[in-house]
Amino acid sequence: YSYDGYTTNLPLEALLDDDVIIAHSVHGKPLTAEHGGPVRMVVPKRYAWKSAKWLKAIELHVDDRPGFWEVRGYHNDADPWLEQRFSEDDGL
């Protein structure tokens, strides 16, 4: 959940990938709002809408809960290597 009401979802295995970060600073300085601060999540192996800015909370659920873009037709997994942009995209 973001302060502006934005939501997105990720499977736990994607969230636990070794390159996912939750950032609060850059070069020793607090992350500015312009760059997603005070806290933002970066998920490099997913399309950008999975990397939430202005992070307020993270919730873990047993069931899938599509976020802002997913309920509007964007792909639930958002894997760029499989070109999963829209819900009907099955990838390569």
Question: What is the mean pLDDT of the segment spanning 7-35?
Answer: 95
| Domain assignment of residue 87, yes or no | no
Name the more confident of 30 and 87: 30
Q: Is the pTM of this model over 0.75?
A: yes
In a domain, 2, yes or no: no
CB under 8 Å to 2, separation ≥6 — which residues?
52, 53, 54, 55, 56
Using DSSP, state whether 71 is helix, strand or coil.
helix
Q: The domain containing residue 58 runs over which residues?
A: 12-82
Which among 78, 17, 89 has a CA at the least distance from the CA of 49?
78
Residue 21 lies in a domain: yes
Kindly state whether residue 70 falls inside one of the protein's structural domains: yes
The predicted pLDDT at position 32 comes to 96
User: Does residue 90 lie in a domain region?
Assistant: no
Confidence (pLDDT) at 88: 78
Quote the number of domains for the chain: 1
1 occurs within a structural domain: no
